[in-house]
């Protein structure tokens, strides 16, 4: 079975500057793969390549064995769903927001997707603008699931959330992965990476860190995270 994603000689250059240079990378087709690294290391760029929101300057990216350059972009984006850094809500109710992803307005189906994201059916008639940040991000997760993707990409989805809402979203994402849908999650928070990841890919200055460089990054950030962590902020 081919990897979920495979990158071969992938480079991205912007304004003459190389922002990503990945000679070889395979992302496994199960669980949660975390893309970690400092700000500006290329994490979000790599994630957007997987969804075809960006295209590489050179190199090949394969999705389950197929070169994504040969795939229809819109169909590919339905197969490869994405949850962004900040909740993207539309005017109207939660129901209206969910129907953007699916024309199936069956309330039981919509409630089921909300439940998978940690919200109950009573939220369907709530105004999206009235949701808290954590609720809005979970609604976005439900909306992504409604499109029926084969994999979910999440770009620092908890960066705008408080610790309690972050842990809630982490738990629901973990449940989605455990149900059989692979996730690729970008974070600069190594504490979060340790809680979530089945595998961690470390990026540094656009390269996949290996060996001593990878260990140094994880050790340095691991020490920092443990010194500042507040494990009692789990929330319900």
Q: Where are the beta strands (DSSP E) in 5-159?
A: 5-14, 17-27, 32-36, 58-63, 66-67, 80-83, 151-155
Bridge-based pairing state of the strands 58-63 and 32-36: unpaired
SS3 81: strand
236 residues of the chain, pLDDT tens digit each:
899 999 999 999 988 899 999 999 999 999 999 999 888 899 999 999 999 999 999 999 999 999 999 999 999 999 999 999 988 899 999 999 999 987 777 899 999 999 999 999 999 999 999 999 999 999 999 999 999 999 999 999 998 899 999 999 999 999 999 999 999 999 988 889 999 999 999 999 999 998 877 887 778 755 544 444 443 333 43
Helix (H) or strand (E) holding 140: helix 133-146
Predicted pLDDT of residue 24 = 96
- Neighbour-count burial of 120, counting CB atoms closer than 10 A to its CB (0-12 exposed, 13-18 middle, 19+ buried): exposed
The alpha carbon dihedral of 129, 79, 200, 198 has a sign of positive
CA 99 to chain centre: 21
Predicted pLDDT of residue 230 = 40
Ordered domains of the chain (ranges, CATH)? 5-228 (3.40.50.300)
Crossing angle of the two packed helices 163-178 and 107-116, in degrees rounded to 10: 110
Predicted pLDDT of residue 160 = 86
SS3 34: strand
- Sorted by sequence, the CB contacts under 8 Å of residue 53 that are 6+ apart come out as 77, 82
């Amino acid at each position: 079975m081919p990897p979920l994603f495979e990158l071969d000689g992938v480079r991205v250059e912007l304004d003459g500057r190389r922002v990503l240079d990945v000679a070889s990378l395979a992302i496994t087709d199960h669980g949660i793969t975390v893309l970690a690294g400092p700000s500006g290391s290329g994490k979000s760029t790599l994630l957007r390549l997987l969804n075809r929101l960006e295209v590489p300057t050179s190199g090949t990216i394969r999705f389950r064995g197929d070169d994504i350059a040969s795939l229809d972009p819109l169909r590919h984006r339905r197969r490869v769903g994405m949850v962004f850094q900040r909740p993207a809500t539309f005017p109207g109710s939660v129901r209206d927001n969910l129907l953007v992803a699916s024309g199936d307005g069956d309330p039981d189906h919509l409630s089921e997707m909300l439940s998978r994201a940690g919200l109950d059916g009573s939220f369907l008639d709530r105004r999206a603008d009235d949701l808290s940040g954590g609720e809005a991000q979970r609604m976005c997760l439900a909306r992504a699931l409604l499109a029926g993707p084969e994999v979910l990409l999440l770009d620092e989805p908890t960066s705008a959330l408080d610790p309690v809402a972050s842990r809630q979203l982490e738990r629901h994402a973990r449940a989605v992965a455990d149900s059989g849908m692979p996730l690729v999650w970008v974070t600069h928070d190594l504490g979060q990476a340790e809680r979530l990841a089945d595998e961690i890919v470390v990026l540094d200055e656009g390269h996949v860190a290996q060996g001593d460089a990878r260990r140094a990054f994880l050790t340095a950030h691991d020490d920092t995270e443990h010194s500042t962590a507040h494990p009692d902020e789990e929330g319900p």
